[in-house]
Structure 1
Amino acid sequence: MRERKQIDINLYHGDFDVQYSPVSKTCTMDIFLPEGKGPFPVIISIHGGAFKKCDKRDEEMIVDMLHGLDKGYAVIGVNYRLSGEAQFPEPVKDIKQAIRFIKDNAQKYHLNADKIVVWGGSAGGYLTLMAGLIDKYEEFDDDYSSNTNTKIQGLVAWFPPVNFSNMDQQLKISGLLKKYPDHDDSLSPESLFIGAPILENSDLVQRANPENYLHKDICPMLIQHGSADDIVPYQQSLDFVNKAKTICKQQIYYEILEGAHHGDPLFSTPENLTKVYCFIEKCFE
């Protein structure tokens, strides 16, 4: 995995550390704007970090998304409450509120509210999947939320966790499980995210499972996962896609990157990024 560094926002034009929700000082976004007058289609970047760390300016993934500036897209990096501050469903609520804020303030920031794609990896990939599903679910709204619909036009999810309860079992089946339980542990990232040991709280695990929010009107999705991922097993994406395709077969695009590990540079090759941006362009047509 690449060394984690942060981008220098002084190299970019836009509005930074914009507060999008009153619930926490954590809830800020960076709005990177391309040259021109707009309104600009939007790529929302959701960072990973096991639900418990990292930041919207981490170079690890957002550099891939910032290529969108050259294509005339605005790129918006979003911070959300991490598991040390709030547990499910609160971080998901943050992402939904961020989308609503972008739509409600589109004119102010020269954005196209009708052309929004969300893109994230790992924990950010999980939140990306949820962003594409929860527009129809009021339980992810807050009292202060506007009535603006949060439907997006597409999403790109890289190596997302989905069903927390079977991650270690899937790694074991693939021969990739480490010597000690990772996800099943009472202090695993997933246990901390839901606020309870996952093996003792199956109902809460299912409430957090994106598969249970699938509906017929989902947006187009591009989901990529590495076959050699020993952190989030590729079967997490595969199972989600198989279930999603029973609901809307034409809108789910799934690809295994052979030999790729978690956060592998293979995801960021020019060839793969060309594929991703071609998908995004179709979402904006």
Structure 2
Amino acid sequence: MRSVLFAFLLGLACIGLPAPSRAQDFTRTKDVIYGRKFGTALTLDVFTPKKGANGAAVVMVVSGGWFSDPNSINSPIFRQLFGEPLKRGYTVFAVVHASQPRFTIPEAIADVNRSIRFIRHHAKNYKIDPDRIGITGGSAGGHLSLMQGTAGDPGNPKALDPVERASSRVQAVACFFPPTDFLNYGGKDKYAFAPDGLLANFRLVMDVREFDPKTKLLERISATKARDLARKVSPVTHVNAKSAPALIIHGDADKLVPIQQAELIMARYKEAGVAAELVVRKGRGHDFNGAAKDFPVIADWFDKHLKKK
């Protein structure tokens, strides 16, 4: 699993891309703590345009294989991804979540939820409109983005923590090659995390355990519970008429996340009457090769759905 993940992250760092926004065009606030988990800080970086801010925000989920490395924020691919929205006046939040193998997909989802609540709660401080927040990411980051777009919630008005009272919903999603249905992954009834599944190398992300009062230990959940959980963390499960408009860019030669995943959720969006678009890149695999032309497309989507009319 590590070799697959490192290859993916190495690909992020080595792609030749045009230069992102110059350092003097924005200010960067590093390691803002948006939450804590077992005593460990959950952090995000804030990139604020020095001039021309449009009052909208774009959240960039820093995640590959549900592994979130803050150093990736400095890679060419991520700098180009958020550089385009920055040039257009968006305030960008690069969110780091708790990573596998220590933490699972449900926990990563909870972290991104928390980050959106935090950003919305502090919207006035960041000079952004709490009702104009978009989200982006690639691969696992795309999956987590779509979960926010389909399963964000209004918050708990009775929560003691004021951040938890804020909504975790977003108003637009734009992402690259995201997993969307773990129970029908590459074909009907194909479980992504089965020993022979396409995501078998990432099985630890679904190694969920529960406290057993008899053994007094954390025991692995049953196979039945695991599949039910896989359904709950699949974005296709949650698509409804109130889901955020979504753009997906996906290569038709992707062998890790088949384009079938994008097609499945696009069908759900159509059924729900949600604005959604799939951009197919011929011959592209699970990587960002040739993606420089896609970043303006991502920013255009946010312009369409987040800018004030």
Q: TM-score range by the shorter chain?
A: 0.7 to 0.9
Q: Distance in 1 between matches of 2:264 and 2:137?
A: 19
Q: Name 2:198's counterpart in structure 1.
A: 183
1:22 to 33, 36, 50: 36
Q: Name 1:233's counterpart in structure 2.
A: 258
Partners of 1:88 and 1:195 within 8 A in 2: no
Q: Name 2:301's counterpart in structure 1.
A: 279
SS in 1 for 2:272: coil
The Cα of 1:268 is off from its aligned counterpart by 2.1
Q: Name 2:213's counterpart in structure 1.
A: none
The amino acid across from 2:176 in the alignment is: W
The Cα of 1:224 is off from its aligned counterpart by 1.4
Q: Name 1:81's counterpart in structure 2.
A: 98
Q: Name 1:161's counterpart in structure 2.
A: 179
Q: Are residues 154 and 161 of structure 1, via their aligned partners in 2, closer, same or farther at CA, if it must alter by over 3 Å?
A: same
Aligned CA-pair RMSD: 3.1
Match status 1:99 vs 2:112: no
Q: Name 2:238's counterpart in structure 1.
A: 213
Partners of 2:154 and 2:169 within 8 A in 1: no
Partners of 2:62 and 2:97 within 8 A in 1: no
| Number of aligned residue pairs | 270
Partners of 1:19 and 1:25 within 8 A in 2: no
The amino acid across from 1:263 in the alignment is: D
Please tell me whether Structure 1 or Structure 2 has the larger radius of gyration of its CA atoms: 2
Partners of 1:226 and 1:258 within 8 A in 2: yes
The amino acid across from 2:281 in the alignment is: L
Partners of 2:154 and 2:168 within 8 A in 1: no
Structure 1 gap ranges (5+)? 173-179
Q: Are residues 134 and 256 of structure 1, via their aligned partners in 2, closer, same or farther at CA, if it must alter by over 3 Å?
A: same
Deviations 1:54-105 (A, max 9, x none): 3351523342222222111111100001122322321111111101111111
The Cα of 1:53 is off from its aligned counterpart by 4.8
Q: Are residues 143 and 166 of structure 1, via their aligned partners in 2, closer, same or farther at CA, if it must alter by over 3 Å?
A: farther
Q: Name 1:148's counterpart in structure 2.
A: 166
Deviations 1:173-202 (A, max 9, x none): xxxxxxx945353xx31x222215999332
Q: Are residues 117 and 198 of structure 1, via their aligned partners in 2, closer, same or farther at CA, if it must alter by over 3 Å?
A: farther
TM score, norm. by length of structure 2: 0.77
Q: What fraction of aligned residue pairs are identical, expressed as a percent?
A: 23
The Cα of 1:203 is off from its aligned counterpart by 1.4
Structure 2 gap ranges (5+)? 1-7, 15-19, 209-219
1:248 to 228, 248, 273: 273
Deviations 1:227-258 (A, max 9, x none): 01111111011111112211124x11112111
The Cα of 1:137 is off from its aligned counterpart by 7.3
1:34 to 32, 35, 49: 49
The Cα of 1:213 is off from its aligned counterpart by 1.4
Match status 1:193 vs 2:205: yes
Match status 1:122 vs 2:139: yes
Partners of 2:11 and 2:287 within 8 A in 1: no
Partners of 1:124 and 1:160 within 8 A in 2: yes
SS in 2 for 1:183: coil
TM score, norm. by length of structure 1: 0.83
The Cα of 1:266 is off from its aligned counterpart by 2.5
Partners of 1:41 and 1:111 within 8 A in 2: yes
SS in 2 for 1:165: coil
SS in 1 for 2:304: helix
